[in-house]
A and B are shown apart, each in its own frame.
Chain A
């Protein structure tokens, strides 16, 4: 479904922005695949007849681990909080997370978006599709390597257990009714 023309502002009240990470290294079996929710973010979406624009900013200190799969044991609340703390202290350090589109085209299922993603001060081009359904649900997904933005993936156990370089970021939101 095409997104109706208009200006939309989205945030945590309208849906979820989720980061999914995998694991790597010789001791990968001991680690968890994580689902991490960004709890403070804001996006704006402008849709016109010929295109539009998309922008998003997220608070790097608002990532909260929601679940973990695999690993040597189940993640409890304490471990989840500890990982969120490590993300804050060792990885994102409260840096910038911002996306701004450079080109937005109408596509059969929604919008095709290209633009620049600024992570912790490094900016790289990215592209993704935003799909909508008849109920106004908006979904999109992007995969990228942390190292392309100069981010060293978190590692433990003397480097034998690492967060995989490639992460996935998903947005799943409901377009606000104007």
Chain B
């Protein structure tokens, strides 16, 4: 299990950010290489992410679901479950997003197995850190 904490600012009001976070059609493409495959409910979607490593890439396909939602505190917990396409690996994560005025914090607890994990925890942490930082920058643009 890898745990990471990030903070972000969007310069936008909390209510605006809250709507954006809960709108999976807007949120999922904020992850580089991420796309919604199918909306399965107002709080869940089938999604996939293609992680490019130069010319090579790995694709993970699975589900993203808002499993907890506190509208008053602007706190949400998203559960990501995915499997490597054409491989044996998994990438699962609990992503807790806590909004404050003009931004918020993200706590990610991820479990990666398979080929990606075989590169070592240090690599997984570095890549996830980069992915989430990039995600927070894109959040400011939606």
Contacts and interface: CB of A to CB of B under 8 A. Distances in A.
B72 interface: no
B127 A86 contact: no
Contacts, number: 60
Nearest to A23: B54
Which among A31, A71, A158 has the highest number of chain B CB atoms within 10 Å? A158
Interface of B: 32, 51-56, 115, 119-120, 122-123, 126-127, 129-131, 133-134
A156 interface: yes
Interface residues of A, number: 22
Which among B54, B119, B123, B130 has the highest number of chain A CB atoms within 10 Å? B54
Interface in A60-97: 71-73, 75, 79-80, 82-83, 86
Interface string A12-49: 00000000000000110111100000000000000000
A75 B55 CA distance: 8
A71 B55 CA distance: 11
B53 A27 contact: yes
Given A158-B130, A158-B134, A160-B126, A27 B119 contact: yes
Which among B55, B115, B120 has the highest number of chain A CB atoms within 10 Å? B55
Given A26-B126, A27-B126, A27-B127, A161 B119 contact: no
A161 B55 contact: no
Contacts of B120: 29
A157 interface: yes
A156 B130 CA distance: 10
Nearest to A73: B56
A159 interface: yes
The 6 closest A-B pairs by CB, nearest first: A158-B130, A26-B126, A79-B55, A82-B55, A156-B54, A160-B126
Contact of B123 (A29, A32, A159): A29
Nearest to A30: B53
Given A26-B122, A29-B119, A157 B55 contact: no
Nearest to A71: B56
A79 B52 CA distance: 12
Contact of A86 (B51, B55, B123, B131): B55
